[in-house]
Amino acid sequence: MSRKTNHHMTADEFRRYGKEMVDWIADYYEWVETQRVLPDIEPGDIRKSLPEKPPIHGESFDVIMQDVDQFIMPGITHWQSPGFFAYFPSNTSFPSILGEMMSAGLGQQGMSWKTSPATTELETLVMDWLVDMMGLPRSFHSSTNGGGVIQDTASSATLCALLAARERVTGGVGNRSGAPNTLVAYTSDQAHSSVQKSARIAGIGDDRLRLIPSNESFAMDANALQAAIQKDRDDGLTPFFVSATVGTTSSMAMDPILSIIDAAEGCWIHVDAAMAGTAAMCEEFRWIHEGLERADSYCFNPHKWMFTNFDCDCFWVKDKTALVGALSILPEYLRTAEHLSGAAIDYRDWQIPLGRRLRALKLWFVLRHYGQEGLAFHIREHVRLTEHLAQRIGDDLDFHLVVPRTLNLVCFTHQRGDEFTEQLMERLNASGSIYLSHTRLAGTYTIRMCVGGRDMQQRHVDAAWDQVVNTARELSEELANASRSASEIRA
Amino acid sequence: MSRKTNHHMTADEFRRYGKEMVDWIADYYEWVETQRVLPDIEPGDIRKSLPEKPPIHGESFDVIMQDVDQFIMPGITHWQSPGFFAYFPSNTSFPSILGEMMSAGLGQQGMSWKTSPATTELETLVMDWLVDMMGLPRSFHSSTNGGGVIQDTASSATLCALLAARERVTGGVGNRSGAPNTLVAYTSDQAHSSVQKSARIAGIGDDRLRLIPSNESFAMDANALQAAIQKDRDDGLTPFFVSATVGTTSSMAMDPILSIIDAAEGCWIHVDAAMAGTAAMCEEFRWIHEGLERADSYCFNPHKWMFTNFDCDCFWVKDKTALVGALSILPEYLRTAEHLSGAAIDYRDWQIPLGRRLRALKLWFVLRHYGQEGLAFHIREHVRLTEHLAQRIGDDLDFHLVVPRTLNLVCFTHQRGDEFTEQLMERLNASGSIYLSHTRLAGTYTIRMCVGGRDMQQRHVDAAWDQVVNTARELSEELANASRSASEIRA
């Protein structure tokens, strides 16, 4: 049967379109800076531009690519633009993109060792490499009772940690309906929403996750944690899980890992360093992980600040037995000799889904292309740019740094208060030149600027700050004019 | 700063390596057929061939690519080989690979509508298209109270369905610790292990998932389901969730959706059609979904049998309120005007993780490249090849088809029994020419052959069956010789 009559794209066509796609991607990184960061559209606009009816007959890939440019690109928020300061960088890189391409091309399915030995073994190796490169505790290395696995996101890692904790504290009985419903989990009021989501999914109960107050630095108050645990124990409940944060989403606060571990003896301690963890590539920033060797599990996301495209979360546990105990179910059709002998890891038992692609490839490409030196170079540069930005904010009397700058995040307000700060951010985002996001710290509406785009340089940071200052001035003048007009009308 | 000193791969280098990678992938599909399907290695072999120490300095991408060929490829199980008949096809295609490339290149993060409007709106559109293309119930279309979302796997879809069911039956109180621990879920003893995994994760309790017996066709016995539900109600428990299967993993059995719905009134009915669902692209196979319009949720995996590379599971619900209620948590830093006004979908509330990439792109590429016609063409061809294979098995007195062939799966045993059948499969897999997997049906060791590789043609199916027959003959002769030698020694 000829390729023409069987509807497949031929290898020759793929060679042509694939190479055009490579150029399209390379071009994208060259022109992204010239685009609005946030698209100027309303909900429904993209959908309206596309045909409602699905195709009966196949279409030319030339037409599909034209449609991408004409109808999809106007709906893209440019996370890879050097004007993107919102949320977290989600920076990617060419080596990572090449890894994702190859992974898609090979079409692996590594649910068991046997179904793709390289998928499993490369993943174990890369996770061990990261232990070395980031100075993580030896107890996370695969040569011990612990080990690492790539998850999609920190949300899933947190859920897996919580399930492993339940397994350990109940000795597996937590999986039976007869188990008393007494488990209590803890995190800070600054922790990521995924901790709440995990507790809800696992049926711990929204009200059995205690949001421990944070101190004036927005770090978890270990004394308050200890008191809460004591009260729960006194009430006959079973404290079992604490999720601590290294670099909170809102303000990059660092929970005191050691004090938390002392306060929560017997609990499974999970440490979520989703964005900040990458900083440990630099020895001078490893203080963020102080005490980690006494924690039970840990995760960070190369897809946030380590040039690896989403999704890629790295998750380690000190006791893999609890994790596998929580998640392993072995039907006949998944039995393999290598599993039954214990000779090989089957990563399906380390995660929520069953299937998994060749996830380690892009991370291996990134680690080898940059080396520890190259990654550390960029982290240092991003931190330097953030320091520079913090300096400029600190020098401007109209603005207030809500917390001291840590790593690659600054949080600030305008002196005119919440409403003004919110209007300022909305106007900045509407300009299209930059994209910032917000949070509330101690009730105050606060703008966050997070540095870390692949191509972000000092000129971008300076231009962004100049724009913040100028826009604030404009807005102040408009308000003054409006107030003058109102007075004149009244007068 | 020049690109050379900043450790990034330059755009020009990416153009070069990217195009080499495109050729590498195209070449792969041209030579994969000549390779052993299962690699001939032991656990640890791949790892041993790679350096234990991570790189301090960056390395040349030429060296990295050489290492892929030399050290990674020997550990690849060739899911894309036309000799792969194990598990499920996991077939991919060039348009899908192009979609994954572009998605990686754009580096989108579509957790909220605003953070990537195109990611959200293209996904909604593609999911609506599939409702039309596969004749799915109108109640799954986004213009109703229902809608669809792309998940990573059917495992995650099942978990989300179960969580939505808990939300609905408890009116949200299921998220509180005070809720009575009385929920009971049901599935058949042939259902995928992910149903058990979901019940365990959600804390329903392993013992509160009833594995309802299946009938002689390995389909769920609806009368037994009704009796189990009645008994649980009589015992003061709360039946709330049934997961039915369209095409079981072991034998492609079809649970009777309508009878199950009648038997389980008031329960949330989830239908898992992970591999088989794709067949509904052809009108003549839509009988597999009979009764689906009365179900509450449904999923199938384009990453199994629809030329879309892993991961890609399509999941629909009839009542999105329950799903979003179960999974939505809204911290300040994720608030957007579009969310608060209800004008836009935020798919983070439809899934376990928070983040999401531009998942719909590859599916959009596949649907447009092939059109319904092109996809239906291949499904029909795969079914025809499977019929042909079943015919050959049925004609051979040494073999027994355990169940009648349905769609693209055959299940067979050798007449000499379990031990012989198992030895036969092991020898076939060790040959490297083909890869089959097994299950147990009614206690009998059974070989499964699943048809659906992208490039699988009749000559591959015939060669595979010839090999099964010849290998069985060899094995029989060896056993006869061994038995003769033993007799001679005794004599």
High-pLDDT (> 70) share of chain B, %: 97
Q: Is B80 an interface residue toward A (CB < 8 Å)?
A: yes
Q: What is the pLDDT of residues A2-28, one digit of tens each?
A: 445 799 999 999 999 999 999 999 999
Residues B274 and B292 in one domain: yes
Q: How far apart are CA A64 and CA B188, in angstroms?
A: 43
- How much helix, strand and coil, in percent to the nearest 5, is found in chain A? 50, 15, 35
Which two structure tokens, joined as six digits, stand for A26?
């390379």
Asked whether the CA dihedral B26, B27, B30, B31 is positive or negative, the reply is negative
Q: What is the pLDDT of residues A425-464, one digit of tens each?
A: 999 999 999 999 999 999 999 999 999 999 999 999 999 9
Q: Is B372 an interface residue toward A (CB < 8 Å)?
A: yes
Residues A317 and A358 in one domain: yes
Q: How far apart are CA B231 and CA B237, in angstroms?
A: 9
Q: Do B64 and A369 touch (CB under 8 A)?
A: yes
Which two structure tokens, joined as six digits, stand for B250?
């072991």
Last residue of a domain, one of A366, A391, A412: A366
Beta strands in A73-220 (DSSP E): 147-151, 183-188, 209-212
Q: Do B7 and A370 touch (CB under 8 A)?
A: yes
Q: What is the mean predicted confidence (pLDDT) over B82-99? A: 97
Q: Is A105 an interface residue toward B (CB < 8 Å)?
A: yes
Beta strands in B273-344 (DSSP E): 297-300, 313-317
Highest mean pLDDT among A424-438, B168-182, B333-347: A424-438
Last residue of a domain, one of B347, B366, B385: B366
**Nearest CB neighbour to A354, from listed B118, B194, B338:** B194
Mutate to test the interface with B, among A19, A106, A131, A156 (most CBs of B within 10 A): A106
Q: Do A115 and B206 touch (CB under 8 A)?
A: no
> Given a cut of 70, is residue A178 above it in pLDDT?
no
Residues A196 and A107 in one domain: yes
**Nearest CB neighbour to A333, from listed B64, B94, B250:** B250
Q: What is the mean predicted confidence (pLDDT) over A66-83? A: 98
Mutate to test the interface with A, among B14, B142, B192 (most CBs of A within 10 A): B14
Indicate the pLDDT class of residue A273, thresholds 50, 70 and 90: very high
Nearest one of B95, B25, B380 to A59, comparing CA atoms: B95
Asked, for residue A92, whether it belongs to a domain, the answer is no
Asked, for residue A91, whether it belongs to a domain, the answer is no
Helix A117-133 × helix A360-395 angle, to 10°: 30
Q: What is the pLDDT of residues B351-382, one digit of tens each?
A: 999 999 999 999 999 999 999 999 999 999 99
Mutate to test the interface with B, among A45, A201, A327 (most CBs of B within 10 A): A201
Q: How many domains does chain A have?
A: 3
Q: Is A243 an interface residue toward B (CB < 8 Å)?
A: no
**Nearest CB neighbour to B338, from listed A43, A75, A309:** A43
Q: Do A17 and B98 touch (CB under 8 A)?
A: yes
Nearest one of A320, A303, A321 to A312, comparing CA atoms: A303
Q: Is A80 an interface residue toward B (CB < 8 Å)?
A: yes
Mutate to test the interface with A, among B48, B56, B87, B97 (most CBs of A within 10 A): B97
Asked, for residue A283, whether it belongs to a domain, the answer is yes
> Given a cut of 60, is residue A1 above it in pLDDT?
no
Q: How far apart are CA A375 and CA A305, in angstroms?
A: 10
Asked, for residue B87, whether it belongs to a domain, the answer is no
Q: Do B353 and A204 touch (CB under 8 A)?
A: no
Residue contacts between A and B (CB atoms, under 8 Å): 485
- How much helix, strand and coil, in percent to the nearest 5, is found in chain B? 50, 15, 35
**Nearest CB neighbour to B58, from listed A361, A371, A437:** A371
Rg (CA), chain B: 25
Beta strands in B199-284 (DSSP E): 209-212, 238-245, 268-272
> Given a cut of 90, is residue B485 above it in pLDDT?
no
Q: Which residues contact A373 (CB under 8 A, 6 or more apart)?
A: B7, B56, B57, B58
Numbers of helices and strands, H then E, in chain A? 15, 11
Q: How far apart are CA A224 and CA A194, in angstroms?
A: 22
DSSP string, A391-408: HHHHH-TTEEESS--BTT
Q: Do A121 and B208 touch (CB under 8 A)?
A: no
Can you give the pLDDT at residue B1? 41
End-to-end CA distance of chain A: 88
Q: Is A309 an interface residue toward B (CB < 8 Å)?
A: yes
Which two structure tokens, joined as six digits, stand for A394?
């600190």
Asked, for residue B229, whether it belongs to a domain, the answer is yes
Residues B356 and B377 in one domain: no
Residues B145 and B266 in one domain: yes
Nearest one of A87, A250, A354 to B193, comparing CA atoms: A354
Asked whether the CA dihedral A64, A65, A70, A76 is positive or negative, the reply is positive
Q: Do B98 and A369 touch (CB under 8 A)?
A: no
The domain that holds A438 is classified in CATH as 3.90.1150.10
**Nearest CB neighbour to A94, from listed B9, B47, B250:** B9
Nearest one of A125, A108, A365, A354 to B44, comparing CA atoms: A125
Residue of chain A with shortest Cα separation from B125:
A47
Q: Is B368 an interface residue toward A (CB < 8 Å)?
A: yes
The DSSP bridge partners found for residue B450 are: B409
Average pLDDT of chain B, as a whole number: 95
Asked, for residue B90, whether it belongs to a domain, the answer is no
Q: Tell the residue number behind the tokens 């809460």, with chain if given.
A: A228
Q: Is B211 exposed, middle or buried (0-12, 13-18, 19+ CB in 10 A)?
A: middle
Q: How far apart are CA A79 and CA B117, in angstroms?
A: 12
High-pLDDT (> 90) share of chain B, %: 91
Residues A355 and A443 in one domain: no
Can you give the pLDDT at residue A3? 45
Nearest one of A438, A385, A423, A429 to A83, comparing CA atoms: A429
Q: If contacts are CB pairs under 8 Å, which of residues 120-149 in chain B contact chain A?
A: 121-122, 124-125, 128-130, 132-133
> Given a cut of 90, is residue A365 above it in pLDDT?
yes
Q: How far apart are CA B450 and CA A219, in angstroms?
A: 54
The DSSP bridge partners found for residue B447 are: B412, B438
Q: What is the mean predicted confidence (pLDDT) over A59-84? A: 98
The domain that holds B47 is classified in CATH as 1.20.1340.10
Instruction: State the smallest CA–CA distance between residue A265 and chain B in angstroms.
Output: 23
Can you give the pLDDT at residue B491? 66
Q: What is the pLDDT of residues A37-51, one digit of tens each?
A: 999 999 999 999 999
Can you give the pLDDT at residue A179? 67
> Given a cut of 60, is residue A105 above it in pLDDT?
yes
Q: Do A326 and B177 touch (CB under 8 A)?
A: no
**Nearest CB neighbour to A369, from listed B30, B61, B208:** B61
Q: Is A342 exposed, middle or buried (0-12, 13-18, 19+ CB in 10 A)?
A: exposed
Residues B234 and B298 in one domain: yes
Contact A103, A357 (CB under 8 A): yes
Of the listed ranges A171-180, B203-212, B409-418, B475-484, the one predicted with least confidence: A171-180
Asked, for residue B111, whether it belongs to a domain, the answer is yes
Domain of A291 in residue numbering reads as: 98-366
Q: What is the pLDDT of residues B426-466, one digit of tens each?
A: 999 999 999 999 999 999 999 999 999 999 999 999 999 99
Q: How far apart are CA B178 and CA B160, in angstroms?
A: 22
Judging contacts by C-beta atoms under 8 Å, the chain B residues touching residue A132 are 53-54
Q: How far apart are CA B246 and CA B289, in angstroms?
A: 7
Largest CA-CA distance found in chain B, in angstroms, rounded: 90
Can you give the pLDDT at residue B172? 73
Last residue of a domain, one of B324, B350, B366: B366
Residues A319 and A286 in one domain: yes
Q: How far apart are CA A327 and CA A202, in angstroms?
A: 12
Residues A187 and A200 in one domain: yes
End-to-end CA distance of chain B: 88
Contact A203, B165 (CB under 8 A): no
Residues A154 and A179 in one domain: yes
Average pLDDT of chain A, as a whole number: 95
Q: How far apart are CA B52 and CA B81, in angstroms?
A: 31
> Given a cut of 80, is residue B178 above it in pLDDT?
no
Mutate to test the interface with B, among A93, A108, A208, A418 (most CBs of B within 10 A): A108
Q: If contacts are CB pairs under 8 Å, which of residues 188-207 in chain A contact chain B?
A: 192-194, 196-197, 200-207
Instruction: State the smallest CA–CA distance between residue B380 and chain A in angstroms.
Output: 12
Strand pairing category for B313-317 and B147-151: antiparallel
- For residue A332, the SS3 value is helix
Query: Which CA distances in Å does B193 have to A301, A333, B205, B209, B393?
Result: 29, 10, 14, 12, 29
Residues B67 and B116 in one domain: no
Asked, for residue A89, whether it belongs to a domain, the answer is no
Residues B320 and B457 in one domain: no
Q: Do B93 and A371 touch (CB under 8 A)?
A: no
Q: What is the pLDDT of residues A281-294, one digit of tens each?
A: 999 999 999 999 99
Instruction: State the smallest CA–CA distance between residue B263 and chain A in angstroms.
Output: 24
The domain that holds A124 is classified in CATH as 3.40.640.10
Residue of chain B with shortest Cα separation from A157:
B353
Q: If contacts are CB pairs under 8 Å, which of residues 377-406 in chain A contact chain B?
A: 377-378
Can you give the pTM of this predicted structure? 0.97
Q: Is A380 exposed, middle or buried (0-12, 13-18, 19+ CB in 10 A)?
A: middle
Q: How far apart are CA B116 and CA B23, in angstroms?
A: 31
Q: How far apart are CA A114 and CA A120, in angstroms?
A: 9
Mutate to test the interface with A, among B369, B429, B438 (most CBs of A within 10 A): B369
Q: What is the pLDDT of residues A234-269, one digit of tens each?
A: 999 999 999 999 999 999 999 999 999 999 999 999
Q: How far apart are CA B148 and CA B426, in angstroms?
A: 41
Q: What is the pLDDT of residues B277-328, one digit of tens each?
A: 999 999 999 999 999 999 999 999 999 999 999 999 999 999 999 999 999 9
Q: Do B59 and A115 touch (CB under 8 A)?
A: no
Q: Is A446 an interface residue toward B (CB < 8 Å)?
A: no
Instruction: State the smallest CA–CA distance between residue B487 and chain A in angstroms.
Output: 32
Can you give the pLDDT at residue A2? 42
Can you give the pLDDT at residue B339? 80
